[in-house]
Copies of this chain bind each other. A is one copy, B any other.
Amino acid sequence: MHKEHTLTKNQQIIFDLIDKSPEPMKAYSILFNVQKKGIKAPLQVYRALDKLVEIGKIHKIESRNAFIACHNSSCQVANATAFSICEICEKVTEISSVGLSKYLANFKDKDGMKYSKYNLEFFGLCKKCTLK
């Protein structure tokens, strides 16, 4: 479960926008959409994004340079994330699988190294795009 953080004004504006969006949002698209609320510069957006990622309210989809709200109580403060990405329509879904997160949290490499954090992105076709 996420620790509760009181979001600041900018953070709240930007989180609300991302949270309402059905698809991941890019930083400059966010900027465009919040300019009427007084957020005028890229840095204001990036600072809010950094914080929101840090506290686990949103995640960055690295392969797309885009941000999505977290709807998964099991990804502890952004330390363990998994997504499926449709290569046609670009729909992104956060994967919530106890089996997967357990497997990855316990994964040790050859040297016995254990990792504190991971990000996994699966690519394929979503249901809708498979039928086409």
Contact = CB atoms under 8 A, between A and B. Distances in A.
Interface stretch (A9-17, A42-50, A117-125): A117-125
A51 B100 CA distance: 32
In the complex, the count of this chain's copies comes to: 2
Interface of A is mostly: mixed
A122 B107 contact: yes
A8 interface: no
Contacts of A100: 107
Interface string A88-101: 00000101110010
B119 A63 contact: yes
Interface stretch (A19-27, A30-38, A108-116): A108-116
B117 A122 contact: yes
A127 interface: yes
A119 B120 contact: yes
A50 to B, nearest CB: 14
Most buried by B among A100, A110, A119: A119
A126 interface: yes
A45 to B, nearest CB: 19
Given A62-B62, A84-B109, A97-B109, A117 B123 contact: yes
